[in-house]
Amino acid sequence: MFTGETCLNRVKPDTREAKTKGESKRGNREVKTDCIFCQIVAGKVPSEIIYQDEAVIAFRDINPQAPTHLVIIPKRHIPSLAQLTEAESSLVGHMVSTANQLAKREGIAESGYRLVINCGKEGGQLVPHLHLHLLGGRKLSDKLD
Ligand code: AMP
Ligand code: ZN
Protein backbone atom coordinates (compact mmCIF):
# COMPACT_ATOMS: atom_id res chain seq x y z
CA MET A 1 0.00 0.00 0.00
CA PHE A 2 1.39 3.39 -0.96
CA THR A 3 0.68 6.52 1.02
CA GLY A 4 0.80 8.85 -1.99
CA GLU A 5 3.78 10.62 -0.49
CA THR A 6 6.68 10.56 -2.94
CA CYS A 7 10.15 11.68 -1.95
CA LEU A 8 12.08 12.49 -5.12
CA ASN A 9 15.48 12.42 -3.50
CA ARG A 10 15.91 8.67 -3.54
CA VAL A 11 17.90 8.05 -6.70
CA LYS A 12 20.71 5.72 -5.61
CA PRO A 13 20.79 2.85 -8.13
CA ASP A 14 20.04 -0.63 -6.84
CA THR A 15 23.11 -2.68 -7.79
CA ARG A 16 22.06 -6.06 -6.40
CA GLU A 17 22.22 -8.60 -9.21
CA ALA A 18 20.06 -11.34 -10.56
CA LYS A 19 21.92 -14.65 -10.28
CA THR A 20 20.59 -16.84 -13.06
CA LYS A 21 19.24 -16.58 -16.57
CA GLY A 22 15.51 -16.38 -17.18
CA GLU A 23 13.81 -15.58 -13.90
CA SER A 24 15.37 -15.19 -10.49
CA LYS A 25 14.72 -13.37 -7.26
CA ARG A 26 16.21 -10.10 -6.07
CA GLY A 27 15.05 -9.68 -2.51
CA ASN A 28 11.45 -10.80 -2.85
CA ARG A 29 11.13 -9.22 -6.28
CA GLU A 30 10.94 -11.21 -9.52
CA VAL A 31 13.63 -10.38 -12.06
CA LYS A 32 13.47 -11.38 -15.72
CA THR A 33 17.01 -11.23 -16.99
CA ASP A 34 15.93 -11.19 -20.66
CA CYS A 35 13.80 -8.06 -20.08
CA ILE A 36 15.47 -4.75 -20.99
CA PHE A 37 13.67 -2.84 -18.24
CA CYS A 38 14.54 -5.47 -15.61
CA GLN A 39 18.14 -5.09 -16.77
CA ILE A 40 17.92 -1.33 -16.22
CA VAL A 41 16.55 -2.00 -12.71
CA ALA A 42 19.45 -4.40 -12.08
CA GLY A 43 21.99 -1.84 -13.32
CA LYS A 44 23.01 -4.16 -16.20
CA VAL A 45 21.92 -1.74 -18.92
CA PRO A 46 22.87 1.93 -18.58
CA SER A 47 20.11 4.52 -18.48
CA GLU A 48 19.58 8.02 -17.19
CA ILE A 49 17.81 7.16 -13.96
CA ILE A 50 16.25 10.22 -12.41
CA TYR A 51 14.27 8.70 -9.58
CA GLN A 52 13.83 5.45 -7.74
CA ASP A 53 12.32 4.15 -4.54
CA GLU A 54 11.53 0.67 -3.24
CA ALA A 55 8.81 0.07 -5.82
CA VAL A 56 9.45 2.13 -8.96
CA ILE A 57 12.22 3.57 -11.10
CA ALA A 58 12.07 6.44 -13.61
CA PHE A 59 14.48 7.12 -16.44
CA ARG A 60 14.68 9.14 -19.66
CA ASP A 61 13.34 7.42 -22.75
CA ILE A 62 16.16 6.48 -25.12
CA ASN A 63 14.10 7.67 -28.13
CA PRO A 64 12.25 10.71 -26.78
CA GLN A 65 8.98 11.72 -28.47
CA ALA A 66 8.85 15.09 -26.68
CA PRO A 67 11.31 17.44 -24.91
CA THR A 68 10.43 15.65 -21.68
CA HIS A 69 9.89 11.93 -22.13
CA LEU A 70 10.31 9.83 -19.02
CA VAL A 71 9.46 6.19 -18.43
CA ILE A 72 8.22 5.12 -15.00
CA ILE A 73 8.25 1.39 -14.30
CA PRO A 74 7.64 -0.94 -11.37
CA LYS A 75 10.87 -2.61 -10.27
CA ARG A 76 9.03 -5.90 -10.17
CA HIS A 77 8.49 -7.51 -13.56
CA ILE A 78 4.82 -7.19 -14.51
CA PRO A 79 4.42 -7.81 -18.26
CA SER A 80 1.57 -5.36 -18.88
CA LEU A 81 -1.53 -3.72 -17.47
CA ALA A 82 -3.42 -6.83 -18.56
CA GLN A 83 -1.40 -8.91 -16.08
CA LEU A 84 -1.85 -6.49 -13.18
CA THR A 85 -3.62 -8.17 -10.27
CA GLU A 86 -6.13 -6.44 -8.00
CA ALA A 87 -3.54 -6.61 -5.20
CA GLU A 88 -1.03 -4.75 -7.37
CA SER A 89 -3.39 -1.97 -8.48
CA SER A 90 -2.05 0.54 -5.92
CA LEU A 91 1.28 0.30 -7.75
CA VAL A 92 -0.24 2.12 -10.75
CA GLY A 93 -1.40 4.91 -8.42
CA HIS A 94 2.14 5.17 -7.12
CA MET A 95 3.50 5.32 -10.70
CA VAL A 96 1.06 8.15 -11.52
CA SER A 97 1.91 9.99 -8.32
CA THR A 98 5.61 9.67 -9.15
CA ALA A 99 4.97 10.98 -12.68
CA ASN A 100 3.10 13.99 -11.27
CA GLN A 101 6.03 14.81 -8.99
CA LEU A 102 8.52 14.38 -11.84
CA ALA A 103 6.41 16.65 -14.08
CA LYS A 104 6.85 19.38 -11.45
CA ARG A 105 10.57 18.72 -11.32
CA GLU A 106 10.82 18.87 -15.13
CA GLY A 107 8.95 22.19 -15.15
CA ILE A 108 5.98 20.95 -17.21
CA ALA A 109 3.32 20.71 -14.50
CA GLU A 110 1.89 24.12 -15.36
CA SER A 111 2.07 23.85 -19.16
CA GLY A 112 0.62 20.35 -19.17
CA TYR A 113 1.68 16.82 -19.92
CA ARG A 114 0.39 13.41 -20.95
CA LEU A 115 0.63 10.06 -19.19
CA VAL A 116 0.36 6.99 -21.42
CA ILE A 117 0.37 3.26 -20.73
CA ASN A 118 0.43 1.13 -23.87
CA CYS A 119 -0.96 -2.35 -23.36
CA GLY A 120 -0.41 -5.27 -25.72
CA LYS A 121 0.37 -5.49 -29.42
CA GLU A 122 -2.46 -3.37 -30.77
CA GLY A 123 -2.06 -0.95 -27.87
CA GLY A 124 1.45 -0.19 -29.13
CA GLN A 125 3.39 -1.85 -26.31
CA LEU A 126 6.88 -2.81 -27.48
CA VAL A 127 8.60 -3.52 -24.16
CA PRO A 128 6.75 -6.24 -22.23
CA HIS A 129 7.35 -4.74 -18.78
CA LEU A 130 4.60 -2.44 -17.47
CA HIS A 131 5.57 1.22 -17.91
CA LEU A 132 4.08 4.68 -17.84
CA HIS A 133 5.23 7.33 -20.32
CA LEU A 134 5.41 10.96 -19.13
CA LEU A 135 5.42 13.28 -22.14
CA GLY A 136 5.53 17.06 -22.20
CA GLY A 137 7.45 20.20 -23.03
CA ARG A 138 5.61 20.86 -26.31
CA LYS A 139 2.02 20.97 -27.54
CA LEU A 140 1.10 17.32 -27.94
CA SER A 141 -1.14 15.97 -30.67
CA ASP A 142 -4.89 16.31 -30.15
CA LYS A 143 -5.22 12.74 -31.39
CA LEU A 144 -4.65 9.82 -29.09
CA ASP A 145 -3.20 7.54 -31.76
P1 AMP B 1 6.21 1.06 -25.51
O2 AMP B 1 6.08 1.21 -27.00
O3 AMP B 1 5.06 1.66 -24.75
O4 AMP B 1 6.51 -0.37 -25.11
O5 AMP B 1 7.45 1.94 -25.10
C6 AMP B 1 8.72 1.45 -24.83
C7 AMP B 1 9.62 2.64 -24.69
O8 AMP B 1 10.82 2.21 -24.11
C9 AMP B 1 9.97 3.32 -26.02
O10 AMP B 1 9.57 4.67 -25.97
C11 AMP B 1 11.48 3.15 -26.12
O12 AMP B 1 12.13 4.25 -26.72
C13 AMP B 1 11.86 2.98 -24.66
N14 AMP B 1 13.10 2.24 -24.44
C15 AMP B 1 13.44 1.03 -24.97
N16 AMP B 1 14.65 0.66 -24.53
C17 AMP B 1 15.09 1.65 -23.71
C18 AMP B 1 16.28 1.86 -22.95
N19 AMP B 1 17.28 0.97 -22.95
N20 AMP B 1 16.39 3.00 -22.23
C21 AMP B 1 15.40 3.92 -22.24
N22 AMP B 1 14.24 3.78 -22.92
C23 AMP B 1 14.09 2.66 -23.65
ZN1 ZN C 1 11.00 -6.77 -16.78
Q: Is residue 145 part of a domain?
A: no
Q: Is residue 97 part of a domain?
A: yes
Q: Is residue 142 part of a domain?
A: no
Q: Is residue 141 part of a domain?
A: no
The catalytically annotated residue of 77, 129, 131, 133 is: 131
Q: Is residue 2 part of a domain?
A: no
Instruction: Report the C-alpha gap between 118 and 109 in whole angstroms.
Output: 22
Q: Is residue 120 part of a domain?
A: yes
Instruction: Report the C-alpha gap between 73 and 76 in whole angstroms.
Output: 8
**What's the total number of domains in the chain?**
1
Q: Which residues partner with 49 through β-bridges? A: 59
Q: Is residue 114 part of a domain?
A: yes
Q: Is residue 132 part of a domain?
A: yes
Annotated active-site residue 131? The verdict is yes
Give the ligand whose atoms come closest to the C-alpha of residue 26: 2
Which range of residues forms the domain containing residue 76? 7-136
Prediction pTM value = 0.86
Residue 44: CB partners within 8 Å, gap ≥ 6?
17, 33
Ligand 1 contacts (CB < 6 A) are 36, 45, 47, 59, 61-63, 71, 118, 124-127
pLDDT by position in tens, the chain (length 145): 444 444 464 444 444 433 434 555 544 346 788 999 999 999 999 999 999 999 999 999 999 999 999 999 999 999 999 999 999 999 999 999 999 999 999 999 999 999 999 999 999 999 999 999 999 999 999 999 9
From atom 13 of ligand 1, which residue's Cα is the shortest distance away?
Answer: 61
> How far from 19 is each of 30, 32, 37, 77, 142, CA to CA, in Å?
12, 11, 16, 16, 46
CATH number at 36 reads 3.30.428.10
